[in-house]
Amino acid sequence: MAFGVFIHRSDSIYDDTPAERYQFPRQYLDRARACVGDWIVYYEPRKVADTKGYYAVAKVERIIPDPSTPGMYLALIEPGSYLDFATPVPFADESGPIERGVLNDEGRISGRAQAAVRGLSPNDFNRIVEAGLADETPLLPRTGVVTADHSLRDERSPFVFDEARERVATLVSRVVRDRVFRRIVLRAYDERCAITGLKLINGGGRAEVEAAHIRPVEANGPDIVSNGLALSGTAHWMFDRGLIGLDDDLQIIVSRQANDQDSIRGVINRSGRLLAPPREADRPHQQFVRWHREHCFKH
């Protein structure tokens, strides 16, 4: 087992759904197989406009031939393992590439940096995940403060693999994942309720909206921004109980089973549509919207 990097771009020509599967050609099969049962970091190339750099982690469950495309393979992602970073990590900073493994013996960037699938050392994995989970200005929950020690001590090089395993334990922590999910969703929606349009900040500087999963974690909903909505407490309650939902065009729909439909419509923003993020990749994905409509919404 080994850590790895999978290159993915938002305008990819491949049949990728980062939280579920990653498509790749035969030439990368051995490298991808080495990552089975372990964690990979998603990276968006620098040539992509507004690149996110290293932007997420996920665990590879298994590799299968792509049944729809001869010569291609799919790395299937373990359900519930995908996590967007609170802070996307750039390829390099003033000290050079954060992924030291792309450097050659002369300290220059090698052709390895162009490989769509490549191995990742425990030290580089630590460094990238540490930076990705860091948050200089965290959006704290309204009750309580979650803190976690994500410190890295590079001087402990003999134990770097153990530190990588400790980092993995952090990635599967529900407390940490909820904190990161809240950050990425509220940032995408500018801390504004997607249903009502209200943007309220309390006296402590905390946003009075919550990060809601469209498809819940309990139903294998991933911690990805396209499976999230920023909602006020009341809107969140109604969404989870199926009193409001979304159609395929992100129009807000009200359940006929609601006992006060007019009042519900009164709190919906004037457009009647979900106030979605400007970035296409951050908007609710159709598969999650349909899941909610089929399994939660009260028709």
Question: Over 90: is that where the pLDDT of 298 sits?
Answer: yes
First to last CA, the chain: 47
Secondary structure (3-state) at 79: coil
Record the pTM: 0.83
Q: Which residue has the tokens 């298994």?
A: 62
pLDDT at 207: 75
Tell me the C-alpha to C-alpha distance, in Å, between residue 116 and each of 24, 103, 151, 199: 8, 16, 29, 40
Strands 92-93 and 96-97: antiparallel
In tens, the pLDDT along 21-65 reads 999 999 999 999 999 999 999 999 888 777 889 999 999 999 999
Mean pLDDT, residues 103-123: 93
Mean of the per-residue pLDDT values for the chain? Answer: 88
Within 10 Å of residue 153's Cβ, how many Cβ atoms?
10
In tens, the pLDDT along 74-90 reads 999 999 999 999 999 99
Tell me the C-alpha to C-alpha distance, in Å, between residue 89 and each of 30, 109, 131: 27, 18, 6
Stated length of the chain:
299
Spatial separation of the C-alpha atoms in residues 276 and 227, rounded to whole Å: 12
Tell me the C-alpha to C-alpha distance, in Å, between residue 52 and each of 8, 21, 49, 272: 10, 19, 9, 31
In tens, the pLDDT along 162-209 reads 677 677 878 888 888 999 999 999 999 999 999 999 998 776 667 789
